[in-house]
Amino acid sequence: MFLFNSFHRSGLPVAARRGAFALCVFFCLFAALLLIGCKTGDDDFVDDQQLNSRLLGSWQDGSWSDEGDYDDYTVTGTDVTYSYGGVGYEMMSYAGTIEYVSNFSKDAGVIIIKYYPGSEASYYDDDYNLLPLKGDYLGIYYRNLKPGVSVQIGGAYVADGAEESTLEAAKAAFTKGNMGTYMGYWGTYLYTE
């Protein structure tokens, strides 16, 4: 209202007032289009199904306090190794080659590995009898990646083993939508190298 009254009583010719008003409208519309068109956050994220390079390195569980009694993940460009350092639980360690990656955002996703022969995770029943694996493919979920600082990461888990027998079955099972099915606990791991 102030602007309109200022132009009306300014003594400027009508054509100049109309031009100034049109210019003000133009700048307002231009500013609105700039704000609407701005991308923020992960708006421009596209899953290229490539391993997130910010995840490369060794990550040690930050909750362990005893010397040598810790677990860690090592992620390279080709494989993932999980080492459980708890005494008497070495059978929980595993390693495998990266077969597929699905990135949910810039800081979350799943890595599907195929176990190396002899490097599979082990599962036991209540009587400590070794259970056979359902397959050779395991999903390793990660989220809240802070490069060079920390990540929440963990292997998919269900009581009798989460492994799948084929890569296609693993892709269908280890999705963003199924993350809650497999991830009841997230470890927070600190970057070590």
Give residue-wise pLDDT tens across range 95-117. Answer: 999 999 999 999 999 999 999 99
> Integer distance in angstroms from the first to the last C-alpha of the chain?
62
Give residue-wise pLDDT tens across range 106-161. Answer: 999 999 999 999 888 877 778 878 878 889 999 999 999 999 999 999 899 887 78
CATH number of 53-191: 2.40.128
pLDDT score, position 160: 74
Largest CA distance in the chain: 96
